[in-house]
């Protein structure tokens, strides 16, 4: 049932981490890989992210049983077209994109007749490129699999088993619901972080040097997220526009309410709100989705 | 020139950390302390946050050369009134509050004739209470000292030397400018984090369990900040209202611009913005204000 030949297209943070995780967790499998950037291919070969780095996507997938596309979501369709001629008829195609409705459509259009089951491991760091990946990235994280209607249950199960072998927990979800959930838990947070870091970077009256020096007051947490890959995130916002704008609308309403509470001096409303938001962090730590140590454990290191 | 008898009023995260840091860095000094909460006093004595825990603020300051108020900024005036009768005439009064203009006014009004030099160590974690403090909290962090007009330079220098002894770097600043800078680097980030965590907690269509499970996509970073002490933050927003509302206005303008870029599909604007915000994180890491490891180093631990 397991995959013995796995092709990874795109060898950045996600693709590289999958390659390293397969090596560690599925030592019987052979991995092939490709990246559009020649420097990334060279570095991927040096780090051994996959067993064989190829010079085209078509070569990389020629013998694959499972193909995982790890490119920005806006590039999925074009990559799929590129490798389609060489794709074995019985290969399973999946991906790691952060929005799923647009990816499902792009892959279905580019690969008619092929088995496509999109997926999204909810894991990552702010780093990108061939040096960013590591084998444990998916451990204790959730991977959301979004099978299209009529997907072969055996193939869905095989993909789920693959992610579980890499340490992830798997949940099946409708792609539309995925896009709404991730708009809250990932896309809106990134948009907000990108915004506030931009705001702080461009103020009269406060210098950039001051922003940097006093960032430990909270701002620095946002800069981590706002250091994420710009191409990837541009594509996420363009491909999940409706859900992001809907969540942004809700956020803006809530921000306006707190703004008003500050303006009129309503301490009770502020206190009640700030008390309510404490509970959710406890739940996230209990569920194993974050480090329980204060300050993410940063203060343990030369604090 | 150094202080030999230091009183700490308020034994939570900041007060407790000062007590522990003095023990480690200034072993010749004797510390006294008080907290309005009897349970905090008991726990402070058990942890040895200060050498002597007293049952009133007045008793704690009776022999002090330096008194540091570590209570929410809205409580500063009342605490100062409480301890005023017992305060030695030559004692220096300081604090650790996150807004400085309102604190300067409250302390000057409550302690006429006394030397008051407010300060703000830009350091902290999301924890609060008598168990939260640790000796290295101020190491490599900045402490902003905001001397009032006409402050005695020798006392300013002594307070600066005190914070440097605890590992901090010291910068002198006008209180009004402090409040503007911190509105950007600390207060606005907290307000935004409190807002988005509240938004995610209260949605139709997405369950709280989903928000928690998929929080590793970015949301969990915000929950750390939104777990900070509600009383402290209520007081910060009420006491630094003007600067916070001004920064919020700037943030909202920038958010509206990005919202429009998403709506009209302007990928170039998004890409340019996301590229610009990357640079500021590099500067923060170079300046020693954050951990260079990806994901704040969280992934090193069972990630």
pLDDT digits (tens, 9 = 90+) for B89-143: 999 999 999 999 999 999 999 999 999 999 999 999 999 999 999 999 999 999 9
B44 in contact with A, Cβ within 8 Å: no
Binary contact (A221, B220; C-beta < 8 A): no
With CA atoms as reference, report the closest residue to B107 among B150, B86, B78, B65: B78
Minimal Cα–Cα distance from A5 to chain B, Å? 26
Task: For an interface test with A, give the residue of B196, B251, B259, B268 to mutate (most A CBs within 10 A).
Answer: B196
* Residue B63 pLDDT greater than 70, yes or no: yes
Measured CA to CA, the distance from residue A281 to residue B43 in angstroms comes to 24
Mean pLDDT (whole number) for B158-164: 98
Binary contact (B267, A234; C-beta < 8 A): yes
pLDDT confidence bin for B1, thresholds 50/70/90: low
B164 in contact with A, Cβ within 8 Å: no
pLDDT confidence bin for A300, thresholds 50/70/90: low
Domains B5-174 and B177-292 share a fold: no
**What's the pLDDT tens digit per position in B5-43?**
999 999 999 999 999 999 999 999 999 999 999 999 999
Contact A99, A237 (CB under 8 A): no
Report the sign of the C-alpha dihedral through residues B66, B67, B69, B75, in that order: negative
- What residue spans define the domains of chain A? 5-173, 177-292
End-to-end, the C-alpha distance of chain A in Å comes to 48
Task: For an interface test with B, give the residue of A217, A247, A299 to mutate (most B CBs within 10 A).
Answer: A217
Q: Using CA coordinates, name the residue in chain B closest to A181.
A: B206
* Alpha-carbon distances, residue B67 vs A157, B7, B35 (angstroms): 65, 5, 13
A270 in contact with B, Cβ within 8 Å: yes
Beta bridge partners of B18: none
Measured CA to CA, the distance from residue A176 to residue B295 in angstroms comes to 28
The beta-carbon neighbor of B184 closest among A200, A295, A296 is A200
Q: Name chain A contacts of B172, Cβ cutoff 8 Å.
A: none
Task: For an interface test with A, give the residue of B131, B141, B184 to mutate (most A CBs within 10 A).
Answer: B184
Binary contact (A262, B238; C-beta < 8 A): yes
Contact B244, B188 (CB under 8 A): yes
DSSP state for residue B216 in the 8-state scheme: G
B132 in contact with A, Cβ within 8 Å: yes
Structure ipTM: 0.93
The pLDDT, as a whole number, for residue B204 is: 85
Q: Which CATH architecture has domain A5-173?
A: 3-Layer(aba) Sandwich (3.40)
B236 in contact with A, Cβ within 8 Å: no
The pLDDT, as a whole number, for residue B111 is: 97
Mention the CATH class of domain B177-292.
mainly alpha
Burial of residue B86 (CB within 10 Å: 0-12, 13-18, 19+) is middle
pLDDT confidence bin for B302, thresholds 50/70/90: very low
Binary contact (A208, B280; C-beta < 8 A): yes
Binary contact (B219, A267; C-beta < 8 A): no
Q: Name chain B contacts of A291, Cβ cutoff 8 Å.
A: 298, 301
Mean pLDDT (whole number) for B188-216: 94
Q: With pLDDT > 90 as the criterion, what percentage of chain B qualifies? A: 90
With CA atoms as reference, report the closest residue to A138 among A158, A108, A162: A162
Task: For an interface test with B, give the residue of A74, A214, A246, A247 to mutate (most B CBs within 10 A).
Answer: A214
Binary contact (A231, B271; C-beta < 8 A): yes
Q: Name, in order, each residue with C-beta under 8 angstroms of B190's C-beta and a sequence gap of 6 or more.
A: A218, B225, B226, B228, B233, B236
**What's the pLDDT tens digit per position in A74-117?**
999 999 999 999 999 999 999 999 999 999 999 999 999 999 99
Q: On the CB side of B277, how many CA atoms lie within 13 Å of its CA?
A: 32
Measured CA to CA, the distance from residue B210 to residue B54 in angstroms comes to 47
Interface of A with B in 68-87 (CB under 8 A): 74
Q: Name, in order, each residue with C-beta under 8 angstroms of B243's C-beta and a sequence gap of 6 or more.
A: B179, B180, B182, B183, B187
Q: Which helix (H) or strand (E) holds B268?
A: helix B267-286
Binary contact (A237, B262; C-beta < 8 A): yes
A264 in contact with B, Cβ within 8 Å: no
Residue B274 tokens read as 């996301």
pLDDT confidence bin for A302, thresholds 50/70/90: very low
Q: Using CA coordinates, name the residue in chain A closest to B176.
A: A205
Binary contact (B271, A301; C-beta < 8 A): no
Mean pLDDT (whole number) for A234-259: 97
The pLDDT, as a whole number, for residue A299 is: 66
B39 in contact with A, Cβ within 8 Å: no
Superfamily of the domain at B5-174: NAD(P)-binding Rossmann-like Domain (3.40.50.720)
The beta-carbon neighbor of A281 closest among B206, B226, B278 is B226
Minimal Cα–Cα distance from B73 to chain A, Å? 13
pTM higher than 0.90, yes or no? Answer: yes
Interface of B with A in 167-196 (CB under 8 A): 171, 180-182, 184-196
Measured CA to CA, the distance from residue A215 to residue B141 in angstroms comes to 10
């Amino acid at each position: 049932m397991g995959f013995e030949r796995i092709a990874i297209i795109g060898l950045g943070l996600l693709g590289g981490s999958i390659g390293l995780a397969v090596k560690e967790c599925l030592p019987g499998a052979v991995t092939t890989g490709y990246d559009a950037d020649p420097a990334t291919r060279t570095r991927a070969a040096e780090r051994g992210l996959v067993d064989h780095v190829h010079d085209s996507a078509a070569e990389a997938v020629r013998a694959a049983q499972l193909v995982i596309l790890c490119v920005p979501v806006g590039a999925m369709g074009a990559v799929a077209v590129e490798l389609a001629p060489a794709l074995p008829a019985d290969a399973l195609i999946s991906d790691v994109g952060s929005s799923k409705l647009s990816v499902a459509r792009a892959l279905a259009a580019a690969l008619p007749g092929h088995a496509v089951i999109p997926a999204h491991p909810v894991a990552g760091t702010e780093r990108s490129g061939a040096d960013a990946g590591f084998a444990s990235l998916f451990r204790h994280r959730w991977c959301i699999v979004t099978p299209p209607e009529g997907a072969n249950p055996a193939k869905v199960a095989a993909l789920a088993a693959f992610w579980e072998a890499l340490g992830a927990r798997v949940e099946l979800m409708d792609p539309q619901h995925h896009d709404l959930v991730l708009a809250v838990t990932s896309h809106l947070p990134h948009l907000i972080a990108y915004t506030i870091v931009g705001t702080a970077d461009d103020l009269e009256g406060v210098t950039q040097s001051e922003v940097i020096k006093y960032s430990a007051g909270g701002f620095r947490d946002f800069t981590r997220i706002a250091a994420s890959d710009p191409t990837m995130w541009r594509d996420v916002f363009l491909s999940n526009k409706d859900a992001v704008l809907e969540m942004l609308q809700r956020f803006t309403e809530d921000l306006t309410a707190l703004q008003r509470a500050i303006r009129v001096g309503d301490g009770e409303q502020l206190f009640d709100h700030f008390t309510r938001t404490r509970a959710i962090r406890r739940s996230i730590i209990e569920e194993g989705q974050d480090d329980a140590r204060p300050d993410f454990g940063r203060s343990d290191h030369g604090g």
